[in-house]
Amino acid sequence: MNVKRLESILKDVQSKKISIQDAFFKLKSLPYRDLGIAKIDGHRHLRKGFPEAIFCEGKTIPQVVRIAGGMLEDDGSLIATRAGIRVYNAVKKAIPDAIYQKEARIITVRRTPGKVNGKRNILIVTAGTSDIPVAEEARVTAEFLDNKVETLYDVGVAGVHRLLIDHLDDLFKARVLIVIAGMEGALPSIVAGIASSPVIAVPTSVGYGANFKGLSALLSMMNSCAPGMAVVNIDNGFGAACLASMINHM
């Protein structure tokens, strides 16, 4: 239930286009809709400014399709993360206007237009090309949440001149930065030591054995001495984008 839909229902009651009983029926899913297999948080858009997301991993395809349909009834928009192509094909069959971003593994549906503030931007930076899938999850999510997003990929510490020589202005212009790195996870500390805006660090599971599937990068980022940096979970581009969006819209 987004703000515009709620306002529309209340105005329809005020103008007597619909009855109080009809309005009650439309609002009865607040604060959530119980599908048995899931409880859809229809209030989240009102509380947070963005809808609930479906995390597809661990769910069956019929479960994802059913939850997606329920969400669209309540909100008119949909975002589903960690979705494989088979999941998308099933969702697309039930919801023809669903869009799939393959590298990000995200399904979206947007039936109500948003408003992007073009004067503020989120800058997404990756250490390596191998970190791009996590970055794309962040980019697609942030754009879905009505943010202007710019990207700067493959500028890690193995060749940090790629960042420092040509892209310092990009760091200073960003309202908030998402910096993504695997291996030893050093790049966010460098960026946070330079940029004047908040930095959200995302460790990735990219790396050799002692990377421990992202644990070494996570610990490096959490032990950073650079101020103004927050850290999200390993490979959590979605979570980083949600936090960045909240900062960018403040």
pLDDT of residue 222: 95
Provide the strand spans (E) within the chain.
Answer: 33-34, 39-40, 54-55, 77-81, 99-101, 106-110, 121-126, 148-152, 176-181, 199-203, 229-231
* Residues of the chain predicted below pLDDT 70: 1-4, 26-35, 42-43, 46, 74-75
pLDDT of residue 200: 98
The one-character DSSP state at 180 is E
- The model's pLDDT over 72-108, given as tens digits with 9 standing for 90+, comes to 876 678 899 999 999 999 999 999 999 999 999 999 9
Chain centroid to CA 91: 19
Q: What structural domains and CATH numbers belong to the chain?
A: 3-110 (no CATH), 121-248 (3.40.50.1970)
**How far apart are alpha carbons 29 and 7 in whole angstroms?**
16
Q: pTM for this structure? A: 0.84
pLDDT of residue 43: 67
| Phi and psi torsions of 88, nearest 5° | -60, -45
The one-character DSSP state at 174 is -
**How far apart are alpha carbons 248 and 243 in whole angstroms?**
9
pLDDT of residue 7: 79
pLDDT of residue 30: 64
- Structure-block tokens of residue 107: 């399904």
Cβ-Cβ contacts under 8 Å for 140 (sequence gap 6 or more): 101, 104, 106, 108
Provide the strand spans (E) within 26-137.
Answer: 33-34, 39-40, 54-55, 77-81, 99-101, 106-110, 121-126
Q: Is 27 exposed, middle or buried (0-12, 13-18, 19+ CB in 10 A)?
A: middle
pLDDT of residue 75: 66
pLDDT of residue 120: 86
pLDDT of residue 115: 80
Amino acid at 126: T
Of 128, 105, 141, residue with least CA distance to 217: 128
